[in-house]
Every structure is written in structure tokens, then in C-alpha cells.
Structure 1
């Protein structure tokens, strides 16, 4: 592979002059610039972006660490981040951690060594020491969706508590008289806030019992198992709020296997607003997060921090929207 020295030798100039032409930094007269560009073209020289980044302290690369790329919520986040990054001249490296803390630690260490300009992190396992390490290495960090707002980094998420209350209010308005909740892993702030919103909305009713809340692990399989466990305890439940849409899809399938009609016997609503909710039968009601907007904002906040060299920790909470579909229409 040709080097910058080969270009300089062919053009009859110094390496510093070639560097100024490539980086458009400093004065080079037009004749000299033309010689350099002709030599670059003749040798088919490709500048090393990492080396250029080290000289300018930036590489034009950001990383996006996601916990579960199979969950349709996260590809939409990734699309938004990539769209914003591309317009700003950045490349995005996508890392899927499978919700494994050790895997995330490996990614963080690898990315730190590869001179990434900044990281967008969607995880519930990010540790305070990880944040401090990245701050010490002057790597801007923005956290999405699942992390606690520790005050040491910017966090972008939706109003989970308010969304849960909106879901319960909707089920009550359509006439549900006993409502249950399938919840996600409680180490995740999203699952915790949605469960809290549910519980505080229904705990004053005489029919309320903690046994109306069943873990579904934010997965389709978890939703199937959870709804069957729920109905074995409370056959008279007529409304179910699921903490995410994947559990709602699983609950819909589980109810079908039990011969229970949705929404005639049990009304169903999820949370997230992923596209799969539109292709089920019946289509699923959901509390929709502005998923694309969350990814867009995360990329904008991170790139602004990279450009300015400053990132003031801030919590951004975006509004959610009720989308009423066939699964909760009566």
C-alpha cells in the first residue's frame, strides 16, 4: 500500500505539505496542491483515517452499543443515529451486547483503544466506573433508554411512568374491571417505572392484588408464559397492560392458545410502538415511544459534545402517545 511518504516523493514536496493538502489545514499554493493531488490519484493513496484522527484528536467515528438487536425497538434507534451521523460526516460502529455486562465491558475497552470520538450506550449494566473511565479518556457518552439518570452523563429516555398510567387509564375507560401487568426485568429503569405506574394506578381498587403482576422478561416467550401463569391465578382478568410490545405479542399468542378472545374477553395493550404491533391479528394497542426521535436526539447531543469538547450532563425525557388499535377496542 502506498504511504504518505511515497506521495511526497512523487510530488517532490515534503510530507508536511502532503498532510496540509489532505487535511486542508494551512496554506499550499495551487500548483503544489495540484501536484500532490495528481500523485495521490496516480498512486491510489488512501489516507489513514485513524492516523488523521490522532493528529486532529478526532476520527469521525462514533459507537452505538445496543443490548438486543433482535428487539425491533433498537434497529429504529440505530437507523436514526446513523442518519444523523452520516449527515454530519460520522461513521457509526454498531455493537450488540446481548444484555451481557461482560460483553459490554469488552466493547468499552476495545472502543477506547480504537480512538472512538464518542459512544451512545443503551444498557442497564453501565457502571459508574465505566462512565468515569470514559470521562478520564475524554470520550463523550450519551446513554439511551434503560440507564439510571446518575447525573454524570446525559440520558435520553421516554416518560415511562406516565405512559404506564396512560395505558391503565385507557383500559379503565373501555370498561375493564380487573387489570393485570406483565412486567420486564426490574433492574431496568424502564421496566421499574412502568410497573410503578401500573401499581399506583390500580392499588386503590378492591380487586387489586400483587399477584396480578407477573414477570415476562421483555420477550415474546416470556409474554406467552406470563399470561398463562396470570390466567391460572386470575381467570377473571379482562385487561392486561404489558411492559413492552414483545411481551404483548407473546401475551396475544398465549391468550389465543388458551382460547381467550382479544379484545372481547381480554383487552391488551403494550408499550414501545414497534412496527410489529401493526401486523398481529388483532393489531395491538400500544403506548408509543418516539423511537426515531430518541435516536436522533442522542446522535445530535453526542456530536455537539464531540464538536464543542464539552458535554453537560442532562436528562431528556420525551413524551409518549397512546395508539389505540383492535386489541383494546370495545
Structure 2
């Protein structure tokens, strides 16, 4: 069945399409359109089940009430939890969310920004990959509200919400040092993103301060876990002196735990473990894994609050906010003090 348009309704009722448009957009009283005609149009619209074209409406009103949310991977528990909380707050404020995963792919992200532009979304929430500075600058120049989270782009001046990555890894590495571990490896994804660079720096700073040598493995990200586990397996076989491992993300952490199990290594007797981003798997592992917990609710709340404020303020010249939140180190049995033999 062909979808009815305003023109079809106007032709059927022998009324001008402008009048129909005013009635459907709630402007009948303002335009002094008779009550009887309004009721006739509304009755017909109800009978035929007419639904206005939201894209056409957004072109007329300049507002779609849709927010575009772009994350690295919507199936990742960290991003999924934040997206869910943002969606709830947005919906209560009259906005719907369109999600997508960028896979940290610059080209895909550019395409997705184009898709959101075509849909006339009102604002953007983005966990940005590298290389999209020009695209985001272009959105901001066109007056679009943009809030970045999880990481920021140093060359782009816009609002962002993130955590204190450098202190988080520094603090967790010192936790291992204080428990007697001396050969602490850091295993993470290779990335130039601000949050990943800060995490690496925090680890290095703690070891330097403690007079210990860093031993880092950076793995190229891949959706196939086998291609993440392979390098970890090779690294552990080659570096048998390592007594503790710090995983830079929960994805690397879960892959690392599989490798440790496959190699028959005992935690924490053979290897102490800490991972960034707490995750149910870490609580269920035996022994439970010490992890850095990000304040998921506070991140989501800050992101949507900043964006809604921008959407509800006519001036685009509000100064950009940089919100940095604290994490929590959840100490569990995977990083218990190293057993030392005393005389």
C-alpha cells in the first residue's frame, strides 16, 4: 500500500496542502482554521493511519529530536552500559538515540558522521578514533553540539568527558610494586588515542619512580580474539621472569586470562593480574581479578547533561567543558602480596 502524503490528504478532502500542514503541526488555532475542518482532517488522518515523514518534518522545523551516539564497539560492556544510561536520560528529555560502532576505523567513522548529517540529528556524542579532527571541526563550525567521551582530540576544541587515565594506571601499578612485584608487564592495544597514551604513561611513571624497568606489549586491535591471544602467548613464553601483568583494557584482559589458563599458570602464585575496566568476567574468575572501575553512571550523566545544555541553549558560544572523573581500584585476590620467604 502506498504511503499517504500531505498532498494525498489535501486532494482527498479538497483542502489546500498548506492548511493540512498547519493542522497536522498544531498551528490551526494560530492560523484561525475552523474547528469543524480541523476535526474532519484529524478524523481522516486517524482512519488512514497517516504518519508524518520525520525527515521531512525535521527539514521544516530544523529539529529531529534525535542524537547520534558513536562508540568504538557497542557490544563492549563499558560502551553498552554507558549507551543504555544515555538513552534513558535522553528519552526522558524528548530525544531518541541512534547508535553505531566505529570499530576505531577512521573511514567508517567519516561515513557514519555523513549518515547522521543526512538524518539531521540534533547533536553528537562520540568516542572518537584518530583522524576525524576535520570532520568534527566541520560539525562544530556548522553549529552542531558535539560532546566527546572516553578520550578527546587535542586539536579540536569541544566538550569532553573522560577519566583520569594517567593517575589510574600509576596508582594500580604502585599497588603491585607495594605488594612486592618487580617484573610488571603492561599489555594493551597499540593506539595513539589520548586515553591509551595516558594509561601507558601512568604505568611507566610508577615504574620509573620505583626504579623498575617497564616491559610493554602493544597489540594491533582485531575483532578476532585469536589474533590478540597469539601475541600474548608468545610474549609470556619469551618473558618467563614476569611476575605481574597489567592489562590496559578489559578486552585485552579477558583474552589474557584465556592465555594464562591455557599455559597452566596460577594466579597470583605465578602471575599477579590487574586489568583496566571492571567486568563481570573478572569477578567470576578464580581468583577474582583486581580491576580499575570507571564511574559508568557519572560518565553517562555528565555526557548527556552537557549535550542537553548545549541543545537547550541558543548560543553556540558557551565555553567548552573538560570533565575529568576519578576511577576506583577494586582490590581482589589476583594481586595479593607476593609470598616471600623470611628467615
Q: TM-score, normalised by structure 2?
A: 0.85
Contact residue 72 and residue 275 of structure 1 kept, 8 A: no
2:328 aligned with 1:300, yes or no?
no
In the alignment, which of 214, 217, 220 is matched to residue 214 of structure 1? 217
SS of the residue 1:69 aligns to = coil
Structure 1 residues 168 and 222, CA gap change in structure 2 (3 angstroms): farther
Q: Which residue of 2 aligns with 1:316?
A: 323
2:331 aligned with 1:327, yes or no?
no
Structure 1 residues 218 and 165, CA gap change in structure 2 (3 angstroms): farther
Deviation of 1:222 (Å): 6.4
* Residues 174-193 of structure 1 aligned to structure 2 (within 5 Å): 174-193=179-198
Q: Which residue of 2 aligns with 1:274?
A: 279
Q: Which residue of 1 aligns with 2:252?
A: 247
Contact residue 177 and residue 210 of structure 2 kept, 8 A: no
Q: CA RMSD in A?
A: 2.5
SS of the residue 1:308 aligns to = coil
Contact residue 10 and residue 39 of structure 1 kept, 8 A: no
Q: Which residue of 2 aligns with 1:22?
A: 24
Deviation of 1:17 (Å): 4.1
Bigger mean CA offset, 54-63 vs 167-176: 167-176
Contact residue 183 and residue 218 of structure 1 kept, 8 A: no
Contact residue 110 and residue 132 of structure 2 kept, 8 A: no
Q: Which residue of 1 aligns with 2:293?
A: 288
Per-residue CA deviations over 1:167-208 (Å, capped at 9, x if unaligned) read: 1122233332332211332312111101100110111334x2
SS of the residue 2:68 aligns to = strand
Structure 1 residues 319 and 21, CA gap change in structure 2 (3 angstroms): farther
Bigger mean CA offset, 29-38 vs 140-149: 29-38
Deviation of 1:322 (Å): 1.0
In the alignment, which of 52, 70, 74 is matched to residue 57 of structure 2? 52
CA distance in 1, matches of 2:20, 2:178: 70
Structure 1 residues 171 and 22, CA gap change in structure 2 (3 angstroms): farther
Aligned length: 328
CA distance in 2, matches of 1:234, 1:18: 75
CA distance in 1, matches of 2:266, 2:111: 46
Per-residue CA deviations over 1:40-99 (Å, capped at 9, x if unaligned) read: 212211111122211211111111112223422221122122112211222211122222
SS of the residue 1:195 aligns to = helix
SS of the residue 1:183 aligns to = strand
Deviation of 1:289 (Å): 0.8
Deviation of 1:104 (Å): 1.0
Deviation of 1:297 (Å): 2.4
Per-residue CA deviations over 1:84-134 (Å, capped at 9, x if unaligned) read: 221122221112222211111111122222212111111222532112211
Q: Which residue of 1 aligns with 2:44?
A: 39
2:126 aligned with 1:121, yes or no?
yes
CA distance in 1, matches of 2:131, 2:82: 18
Per-residue CA deviations over 1:194-232 (Å, capped at 9, x if unaligned) read: 1100110111334x224x111145675566445444434
Structure 1 residues 23 and 278, CA gap change in structure 2 (3 angstroms): farther
Q: Which residue of 2 aligns with 1:65?
A: 70
Per-residue CA deviations over 1:13-40 (Å, capped at 9, x if unaligned) read: 5544443443334635655543332222
In the alignment, which of 148, 156, 165 is matched to residue 160 of structure 1? 165
